[in-house]
Amino acid sequence: MLTMLKELCDLYGVASFEDDVRSYIQTKARFCAGGLRVDAMGNLIVFKQGAQSGQNKLLLTAHMDEAGLIIRDITDEGYLKFAPVGPLDARVVIGKKVSVGWSRVPGVVGLKAYHLVSEEEEKVVPKLSDMYIDIGARSREEAEALVSRGDYAAFSTRAEEFGAGLLKAKALDSRIGCAVLLQLLEEDLPMDCTFAFTVQEGVGARGAFGAAFSVAPDIALTVEGVSAADIPGSDAPRGSVKLGKGPVLAAMDGGTVYDRALFELIRSTAEKDGTPWQLRPPVTALNDASAVQRTREGVRVAAIAAPVRYARTPSGLVSVTDYEQTCALVRKSVEAIAAL
């Protein structure tokens, strides 16, 4: 189970370039799926028959994309100028190793050396527009022989077990959900389920809308990783999400007010099973549930997530126990929904 999460996190899948992630999931899913298709947006939609075809048509979603960069220009000196793809904090980018384009050209994010900056520049966080990717080229011609404008760049971070029961990796906020759904696909299900591995969540939950429109579910459950705030110097309010305290349930976020009855069903399922859970504070961020909820006549939605420290950076951290408990709670929640 942990091996699959590591493998997923090591794949490159910047929004609209999720091909490698989709291919990996297709390979795993084709042996246990009743039906599998890729839609026009690039979402992978998988159907699996369960023990019953219930009154409620259930969709489970997880997004495949990760935050990254896209090449917008190449300088005469051979440096690559870039723009962010998805939410990206400029403070975590400087000096990071990246892989550029389909050829996986290695590069490093650079910036003017510290001893060359002015006093005014010392006082501000550098802008992404001031940074560049150095691939070791000596001219525009050398760089253009390797990469092109419009190529993506993904952070080069290998997943590894870390510290006291943690996993360190990039793309944890997305690949946790993918791993949980793949695990469920390998098991006997209590009801028919459709699984949507979606694209472009980080740039506006664009893939999920089309996937949900075609599936037309009654109920949808989004699975992902969410930001934890248990770090030194954080002024996060009491009750903020922490590692090691169990799966995270959401009542509301920046894009969705979740179905109250589903929230209570999942909460009671966790407590009945003795699974610790946390409430996600209302935040401005949104996820695939916001798009799914607004599809067709409307969809009842709920969300279950694992807490991730340093989410959407090249080196996020997740508790292995939280991840395992999240997977177990999703499984139990599907059973509870099947019994409705």
What phi, psi does 269 have (nearest 5°)? Answer: -65, -45
Higher pLDDT, 320 or 86: 320
Give tens-digit pLDDT for 157-199. 999 999 999 999 999 999 999 999 999 999 999 999 999 999 9
| pLDDT above 70: residue 47 | yes
- pLDDT confidence of residue 114: 65
Q: How confident is the model at residue 33 (pLDDT cuts 50, 70, 90)?
A: confident
CATH topology of domain 68-155: Elongation Factor Tu (Ef-tu); domain 3 (2.40.30)
Rounded to an integer, what distance in angstroms lies between the CA atom of residue 26 and that of residue 214? Answer: 19
Query: Given this chain, do its domains 2-66+170-338 and 68-155 carry the same CATH topology?
Result: no
- pLDDT confidence of residue 281: 85
Q: Would residue 297 show up in a list of annotated catalytic residues for this protein?
A: no
Higher pLDDT, 150 or 122: 150
Structure tokens at 85: 């793809």
Residue 41 exposed, middle or buried by CB count within 10 Å (0-12, 13-18, 19+): middle
| pLDDT above 90: residue 55 | no
Give tens-digit pLDDT for 93-116. 999 999 999 999 999 999 876 666
Structure tokens at 151: 């190529």
Dmax over CA atoms of the chain, in Å, equals: 68
Mean pLDDT of 119-137: 85
- pLDDT confidence of residue 117: 67
- pLDDT confidence of residue 235: 60
- pLDDT confidence of residue 116: 61
**201, 271, 297, 335: the active-site residue:** 201
Q: How confident is the model at residue 292 (pLDDT cuts 50, 70, 90)?
A: very high
Instruction: Sketch the domain layout of the chain as residue ranges.
Output: 2-66+170-338, 68-155
- pLDDT confidence of residue 14: 96
Rounded to an integer, what distance in angstroms lies between the CA atom of residue 311 and that of residue 316? Answer: 5
**DSSP character string of 307-332:** EEETTTSSSEEEEHHHHHHHHHHHHH
- pLDDT confidence of residue 96: 95
- pLDDT confidence of residue 258: 95
Give the C-alpha distances (Å, rounded to integers) separating 139 from 76, 95, 143, 255.
Answer: 6, 21, 6, 45
What is the residue type of 20? D
| pLDDT above 80: residue 125 | no
Instruction: Name residue 196's beta-bridge partners.
Output: 45, 61
Q: To the nearest whole percent, how much of the chain has pLDDT over 90?
A: 82
Give tens-digit pLDDT for 221-278. 999 999 998 877 666 555 589 999 999 999 998 899 999 999 999 999 999 999 999 9
Contact between residue 45 and residue 181 where contact means Cβ atoms under 8 Å apart: no
Q: Which CATH number does the domain 2-66+170-338 belong to among 3.40.630.10, 1.10.287.130, 3.30.70.920, 3.60.120.10? A: 3.40.630.10
Residue written as token pair 């177990």? 328
Mean pLDDT of 22-35: 89
